[in-house]
Structure 1
Amino acid sequence: MFLLYNNQLLHEEELRLPITNRAFQYNDGFFETMIVQDGKIRFWQDHLGRMAKATHALKLQLSSGLENFEALEEQLLQLATQNNCQNYGRLKLKVWRGGAGLFTPETNTTEWLATVQPATAPKHEPIHIGVAHSVHTSFSPFSHFKGPNSLLYVLAGTEKKETKYDDLLLLNDRKEASELISANLFWFKQGILYTPALDTGCVNGIVRRNILRWCKSEGISVKETYAEPPEIINAEAVFAGNIAGLRQVSKLQDAEMTTDATIVTTIREVLKLK
């Protein structure tokens, strides 16, 4: 597999990172996961917007080719072609603070690594979810983007594996619904689309942004809300969404849920999600 490391195209086995690397030592950075489809990066402008906010929150200075977004997009698409992923692939861009140092960094300039791997179209079958008990989300300057809170999702993933659910609903410390392990949560009831508010600690997902934008354009009421799990169960449709696609929720723990696919199918078609 080919990868890009600070503008250099390398074979995977050629990559060498110093032991002082701050992504390794302190998780001092963030990442974006994107989908390459039909020679384009899906939702590229939204990814750039979230990168800008992550950069600001972490006080990073984009460098090493990251600052020219048009050239960066071209490089990433060339990488996808090199790895035969231009038709459908999963692209990950990891950005971290350069230099060494302890908790106090030596510099705020950045280094980066991009990889692209073949991906399969997401499944459409409804999922059965549980409620996470080992961890909870917490709102912070870092909770809206990916990277700093990764351990939260790793531990939730471990619990999911142990409990054998398809996914887990993460709650905040007030027992309010926040998100699933790797997707935002939505439910549709009486003509209103609900989703947990960002200050429940959920990620400001790229598909979440596009769903809310589409609802606004169509005159569909949206409520970013605070709800405990029982309030979700009687919705007309409950679904999870991330950059890979949408999945309906058919069961929350032991409670059966309505699986009206109308709104989910419409959003999937509008956003061109496979």
Structure 2
Amino acid sequence: MVNFNGTIISPKELQISHENRAFKYGDGVFETIKVENNRVIFFEDHYFRLMASMRMLRMKIPMEFTLEFLQDEILKTVKENITQNTSSRVKLTVFRKDGGLYTPKTNEIDYLIDVKPISLEEKDSYTIDLYKDFYNYSGLLSTVKTTNRMVNTLASIFAKENDFDNCILLNERKGVVEVTNGNIFIVKGNTIKTPALTEGCIKGVIRKKIIEIVTKHPDFTIEETTISPFEIQKADEVFITNAIVGITSVTNYRKKTFDNSIAQKLKNSLKVTSLTMS
């Protein structure tokens, strides 16, 4: 079952018009949210990122789009799909209403919530490499999770074809941006680095949480900065963050093998944070 504008319907009942702007122009934004045991994890962060994205894209935010309203709509949809207290992947997509060419007929929106159970496999190895066919251009618009994810899609296909678990996306200056499905961090000594938002990376919710955790940690420093691909080979650890898995340790990049001890410590801290804030 899916939730379309507050109404629970079966996917077969969902009527998406040929004028749908998310389909025709990528004129939409989305949030991928984890729900665990009827708790919407870090929803306040997701909510404020969504509101900021909608404002940036000149979408009209409905009066009823409060944090409490959307949280209730998410939990209502989860209840219709998940019968046991398990983890769920929720995708909340907001798109401008039908009509218009590049110039829309209206800035009013529709929204869709769909739910899938999460089945996460713990892997002994996790290999990444660079994707260099196309670039993620730096700039503020790239930090928004729009429904146009073509570079991520092509990089994911490239990874599958070459037996990688993930690929690193680069910007037009050949700087590291992110991976296909999350933000990237590298560890060298006591310094943890992640690409700055000006590099074009998504303003990730878990990225934000890790930065907050490391900022308060007495043993480590955090840098939001420009990262060269060469720095990855020199790193002690590399890890990936997103809202569903939290932290994934990278074990291999080309001929380099990485440790994961700091990522494990951060994973424990993140778990504590999620329990206290959700």
SS at match of 2:240: strand
User: How many residues are matched?
Assistant: 270
Inter-partner Cα distance in structure 1 for 2:237 and 2:123: 14
- The equivalent of 1:250 in structure 2 is 251
- The equivalent of 1:137 in structure 2 is 136
Deviation at 1:124, TM superposition (A): 4.8
SS at match of 2:134: coil
TM-score when scaled to structure 1? 0.93
Give the RMSD, CA atoms, in angstroms.
1.8
In structure 2, what residue type is equivalent to 1:78? K
SS at match of 2:230: helix
1:90 matches 2:89? yes
SS at match of 2:160: helix
* Partner deviation per Cα, 1:45-81 (whole Å, 9 max, x = no partner): 110121012111100112284x122022012112111
- The equivalent of 1:222 in structure 2 is 222
* Partner deviation per Cα, 1:54-113 (whole Å, 9 max, x = no partner): 111100112284x12202201211211111165210000010011311111111111000
* Partner deviation per Cα, 1:159-211 (whole Å, 9 max, x = no partner): 11222211111111221111111111111122111111112111111110110
- The equivalent of 2:241 in structure 1 is 241
* Partner deviation per Cα, 1:122-159 (whole Å, 9 max, x = no partner): 52533111110211111233211212541111111121
In structure 2, what residue type is equivalent to 1:223? E
Alpha-carbon contact 2:140-2:197 (below 8 Å) kept: no
Inter-partner Cα distance in structure 2 for 1:37 and 1:21: 32
Inter-partner Cα distance in structure 2 for 1:258 and 1:69: 40
- The equivalent of 1:270 in structure 2 is 269
Q: What fraction of aligned residue pairs are identical, expressed as a percent? A: 29
SS at match of 1:233: helix
- The equivalent of 1:50 in structure 2 is 49
4+ residue runs of structure 1 moved beyond 6 angstroms? none
Inter-partner Cα distance in structure 2 for 1:145 and 1:266: 29
SS at match of 1:216: helix
TM-score when scaled to structure 2? 0.91
SS at match of 1:142: helix
Alpha-carbon contact 2:196-2:224 (below 8 Å) kept: yes
SS at match of 1:164: coil
Inter-partner Cα distance in structure 1 for 2:138 and 2:90: 27
